[in-house]
Structure 1
Amino acid sequence: MTKVDVVPYDPAWPGMAAGAVALLRLVLGGSVAAIEHIGSTAVPGLAAKPTIDLMAATDRLDRVGGHADVLEPLRYHRHVNAMADRLLFVRWVDRVRSHILHVVTLDTWPTRNQRILRDHLREHPEEADRYGRLKLELAAAGVHSRDHARAKAALLQELTDRARAARGLP
């Protein structure tokens, strides 16, 4: 059974993300227009799995997909999944997933739920606390990794819906 590791917020996470962003910008060059720190590690004070999530925007996914060879030396490996609207690269360090790079298209960038929810949680610390408490409770209860996302789904949907509505988005 794989237990989910949720830890208290680490003030080192933004610096880790900034370092990863700088390195990715260097190797990906003009193939990406933007790269941001997303996910729970991007929300000050929020408990999280200690994995740095990043999101990059490109005009065409194949522009970054074709650069998988320059990401390999940085230990980012392409993760094939069923999502046709993004590319995923996972960075492993000592058999631990340290970073995830989501690559999406520029036309979807402004309405990406991950970015919208991150900003909402930063603006509403009481909701971030609520989300953090749930994650810590699930981890303490030993919820298996495959059930973790499902157990958070209702609250995440509620928070994302509220964040999108606040921005006038469906």
Structure 2
Amino acid sequence: MGKTLSEMSLEELWELFPIILKEHNPSYKEWYLIEKSEIVNALGRNDIKRINHIGSSSVEGLISKPTVDILLEVDCNCNIEQIKSKLSNAGWTLMSFECKPDLNMSFNKGYTSNGFAEKVFHLHVRFFGDWNELYFRDYLLVHKEVAEKYGKLKQGLKEQYKHNRDGYTEAKTEFIMKYTKIARKDFGNRYLPIL
């Protein structure tokens, strides 16, 4: 009998779930819409401020990990424990939880003791805010040449960081921050919550 995911070390998890890059799958959008609907059904609309498909799978034509990233923004007065419980009951596994400096919960679906399932999701839960991921996604959607550069960067990093997710993420940070800064200048405060 093998170990459960919760019994595995970080190294074992990285070995089981290596960095895989695939051509863009047009079904990602549909997978996102189905999950979005299920999240709304699980939580109800009251605490949800905004839900977005983010990450590379949200950019048509961009090579990406075959993972649909979802940013769920909730009301800052919501009951966090209740949200955790409802998402858990809806099949999401809590991977990380931080309250300070900001709420940052990370859930996933599609990770099994045999590796990735056919559909894999990451759900990022935060308070309603002005998040970099939204600006970076929007910039890549408008600037195909930058999306192409980003795809090439990721392909170049894939082998080196195949079994080191943190290293892979860290190696992309400079590129992401460079274009996020430009996007914020170009797009103004398009995601700044109006209180």
Q: TM-score, normalised by structure 1?
A: 0.86
For the Cα contact (< 8 Å) 2:109–2:121, is it kept in 1? yes
The count of aligned residue pairs is 166
For the Cα contact (< 8 Å) 1:31–1:64, is it kept in 2? no
The match for 2:181 among 161, 164, 167 is: 161
The match for 1:74 among 74, 79, 90 is: 90
Change in 2 beyond 3 A, CA 1:71/1:158: same
* Counterpart mapping for 1:29-108 below 5 A: 29=44, 30-60=46-76, 62-82=78-98, 84=100, 85=102, 86-95=104-113, 96=116, 98-106=120-128, 108=129
Q: Percent identity?
A: 24
Q: Secondary structure at the match of 2:22?
A: coil
* Counterpart mapping for 1:9-20 below 5 A: 9-20=24-35
Q: 2:156 & 2:82 partners in 1: Cα distance?
A: 41
Change in 2 beyond 3 A, CA 1:78/1:142: closer
The runs of 5 or more residues in structure 2 that have no matched partner are: 1-13, 190-195
Deviation at 1:31, TM superposition (A): 1.9
Structure with higher Rg: it is 2
Change in 2 beyond 3 A, CA 1:81/1:64: closer
For the Cα contact (< 8 Å) 2:161–2:167, is it kept in 1? no
Change in 2 beyond 3 A, CA 1:147/1:93: closer
For the Cα contact (< 8 Å) 1:61–1:87, is it kept in 2? no
Q: 2:144 & 2:38 partners in 1: Cα distance?
A: 30
The runs of 5 or more residues in structure 1 that have no matched partner are: none
Deviation at 1:136, TM superposition (A): 1.5
Change in 2 beyond 3 A, CA 1:77/1:39: same
Q: 2:181 & 2:132 partners in 1: Cα distance?
A: 9
The match for 2:149 among 126, 130, 138 is: 130
Q: Secondary structure at the match of 1:120?
A: helix
Between Structure 1 and Structure 2, the one with more helix by share is: 1
Equivalence for 2:6 = none
Amino acid corresponding to residue 58 of structure 1 in structure 2:
V
Deviation at 1:34, TM superposition (A): 1.8
Q: Secondary structure at the match of 1:119?
A: helix
Q: 2:85 & 2:34 partners in 1: Cα distance?
A: 20
RMSD: 2.1
Equivalence for 1:147 = 167
